[in-house]
Amino acid sequence: MQLTGFHHLTAVTADAPRNHAFYTGTLGLRLVKKTVNQDDVSAYHLFYADGLASPGTDLTFFDWPVARERRGTQSIVRTGLRVGSTASLAWWQQRFATNGVTHHGTVERDGRATLDFEDFEGQRLSLIADDTPGPVHPWAKSAVPAEHQIRGLGAITLSVRDLRPTDVVLTQVMAMQHVREYVAPRAGADAATSTFHVYRMGGDGPQAELHVQVEPGAKPASQGAGGVHHVAFRTPNFQEYEAWAERLAKLGMPSSGPVDRFYFRSLYFREPNGILFEIATDGPGFAADEPMETLGERLALPPFLEPRRVAIERGLKPLVTA
C-alpha cells in the first residue's frame, strides 16, 4: 500500500474573478470544476487542471474574504508545477515578463531547472522542467501552446521547525522514503539558505516528491490569501483508501475519518507541525456529474447540496465580469 503522488493542492484566494483570470488566462490551465467549499457553501472551490482533469494535476482554491497570508514556517511554502523542458521555462519567462508576473530567473534546484514565480496575491509557485515519461493531456482551448502547457503538480515544499516528528509521520505512517537532502535559498524573502529533505512516494519524478525545508528559528505562518490550505496525496482506489483510514486509526493518528466529497473520497489529518494533509482517491472524478467536454462551465454541486442551488448561486460572485 503506497501513495502514488500528489492528488491536488488547495490554496486560498480573496479574489475569485481575478484568480480565475490568472490561472486560466495567464497560466492556461483548464477550469475543470466550479463548485463550492462543501463545509462553507458561501465560498467557491475552484479546480484548475489539465485537459482531462487528471488526478495529480489539480491546483484548487477556496475563495475567502481574508487578509494576505503572513509567511512563516509550519506551512506549505511552495508549489511546483511541471512543464516538459527547459525550453518551456524560457518560453514562460518571456510570458511572465510580458504579463507583469513576479518571477525570478531560472535556477538549478535539486538537480532540476526551476523558474520561481508568484501570482497576484503572492502565492509561491515554481515551474519545474521534467521529462519523466508519463501521459500528457493538454487542453485544446488553452492560451498556452500544447508543448509549453503545465502538465501537473511537481515537488511541493513544506517548512517545519523540527524535522523529527514530521519525518516519523512521512516514513512510518505514510510509507514515504527519505531519499536525499540538499541546501538551497530559503523560500522566504532573504538570501539565507536552508536544508531541504526529499521524501518520495510511489511514482517517478517530482510529481512523487515532497520536499521539507527545516527552519528552526522561524515564526509560524498565519493562513490567508496567497497561502496554502492543504495538500492531498493520491490513493488509487476505494479499497486502499479504506486501508489508509484503518492504518491511521490503528496507529492512533487523529483524523477526520472517511469523508465522501462525491468527486473523490477524502481523509484528513495533521502532521505534528500542524500542516493539514489529505489522502484522496483518484475516482470517481470530475466527469461524475457533467460531460468531460463542458467541465467547469456551470456551477456543479454534489447531490446533497443540489436542493440548495438557488440560495448558493445567489451568494456567489460571477467569475467573469464585463
Contact, 126 vs 114, CB < 8 A? Answer: yes
pLDDT value for 190: 56
Q: How far apart are CA 244 and CA 31, in angstroms?
A: 30
How far is it, in rounded angstroms, from Cα 234 to Cα 207?
Answer: 11
CATH of 6-314 given 3.30.1330.10, 1.10.10.60, 2.40.50.140, 3.10.180.10? 3.10.180.10
Instruction: Identify the helix (H) or strand (E) that includes residue 171.
Output: none
Q: Tens of pLDDT along 8-26?
A: 999 999 999 999 999 999 9
Q: Going by C-beta distance under 8 Å and a sequence separation of 6 or more, which residues neighbour residue 187?
A: 77, 78, 124, 157, 159, 194, 213
Reported as a single tens digit per residue, the pLDDT across 232-257 is: 999 999 999 999 999 999 999 999 99
The three cell numbers locating residue 202: 510511489
Distances (CA, A) of 7 to 152, 192, 265, 266: 10, 31, 11, 11
**CA distance linking residue 317 with residue 208, whole number of Å:** 36
Mean pLDDT throughout 64-73? 97
CA separation for the pair 303, 143 (Å, rounded)? 33
CB 12 within 8 A of CB 227: yes
Residue 185 scores a pLDDT above 90: no
* Distance between CA atoms of residues 146 and 197, nearest Å: 33
Tell how far CA 30 is from the center of its chain. 15
What integer pLDDT is reported at residue 191 of this predicted model? 60
pLDDT at site 322: 42
Give residue limits of the domains in the chain.
6-314
